[in-house]
Amino acid sequence: MKLIITIAIIILLLLLWFYRHPLNRNIFKNRNIIYSPAYGRILKVQYLKGDKIHIAIFLSPYDIHRQYIPISGRVKKILYDRTGKFNIAYKFNKSNKNEKFITILDTDRGDVIIYQIAGILVRRISNYMRVGEYVDTGVEMGIIHFGSRVDITIPNASSFNLLVNEGEYMRGINSKIGYYIR
């Protein structure tokens, strides 16, 4: 009986730690800055056709799995791709095909796209956004349960000063990805 209670307490403590809320300290006044939507390590930075930057952030089981709005805007579209697989999230080319929520924000600088990508474990994503609502920088966007990746596509790369590199650790909205220079 003591063993069962001990195991239950350990599982409860692990769940409380996993679903913890971080301490976010930023006051978001500058509308030219894009913050990290997630806690985790930058897996990939790519410049895409159409003057865009795509950044992939891997969330290990030790990271906070809540996501945040990286820049103020109106929620233009939310898509849920149920056709995907559940590959390991840190395998960049494989996890691109994973099940995901895609949130498109209409901002002053163009459409910012945030991808909440499911991993191999629990395979559940919660997205709290509603199409048409205006959301401020730093608002909690959702949570990916137990392992995942969060990607962001930033428009107007030619006027964006990128501050991050592959391998760097992002502390959610306490970390700046970059800012628009014009």
Q: Which residue has the higher pLDDT, 31 or 88?
A: 31
Model pLDDT, residue 87: 60
Distance CA 113, CA 65 (A): 18
pLDDT for 115 equals 94
Number of Cβ within 10 Å of residue 110's Cβ equals: 16
Taking the domains of the chain in order of start, what are their residue ranges?
2-180
Homologous superfamily (CATH) of 2-180 is Glucose Permease (Domain IIA) (2.70.70.10)
What are the backbone angles phi and psi of residue 88, rounded to the nearest 5°?
-65, 130
Q: pLDDT category, 67, cuts 50, 70, 90?
A: very high
Whether pLDDT at 63 is above 60: yes
**Catalytic center residues:** 148
For residue 11, the model assigns a pLDDT of 76
Of 59-63, 86-90, 96-100, give the lowest mean pLDDT range.
86-90
